[in-house]
Amino acid sequence: MTTSNDLLIKQRSVIEFLAAERCSAANIHARMKTVYGEMCISDSAVLKWVRIFKGEDPRETILRDRKRSGRPLSASDTVHREKVDCMIRANRRVKQKEIADEVDISKERVHYIVTTVLGYRKVSARWVPRQLNVE
């Protein structure tokens, strides 16, 4: 199964190819609509990509989205995960607020790390792994 990002890259490749053949944006969108159906990108997006591909050499075109400026997502990195995991293993009754204050990240990010990444859940005011093991 292809992800939505893979599908977008495929569609951009089709747009690049057809733009190199000098097809119009409306024609490209109509042809893509018959193949991709509801998963096809909008006609304005096709027009945008046709404009991008018109002036470029096809061998040098980058189809993937470029990195954007802004704050990086660093609260879920391995360092924070390890700190949160160590705090929970040291004190199973630790609160998310205490973890957030100690590690200096938001409570929402702590909740995401604890429940989704580490797989803990609260049982009788204690954090326990979802899959219990011998430990």
Domains and CATH numbers, the chain: 4-60 (1.10.10), 78-129 (1.10.10)
pLDDT, average across residues 36-45: 90
What are 59-86's pLDDT values in tens digits?
Answer: 566 666 666 666 656 667 788 889 999 9
Residue 65 is predicted with a pLDDT of 62
Residue 90 is predicted with a pLDDT of 92
What are 92-118's pLDDT values in tens digits?
Answer: 889 999 999 998 888 888 898 988 888
Residue 58 has pLDDT above 60, yes or no: no
Residue 26 is predicted with a pLDDT of 92
Residue 1 has pLDDT above 60, yes or no: no
| Global confidence as pTM | 0.45
Residue 25 has pLDDT above 60, yes or no: yes
Residue 76 half-sphere exposure toward CB, CA atoms < 13 A: 12
Residue 117 is predicted with a pLDDT of 86
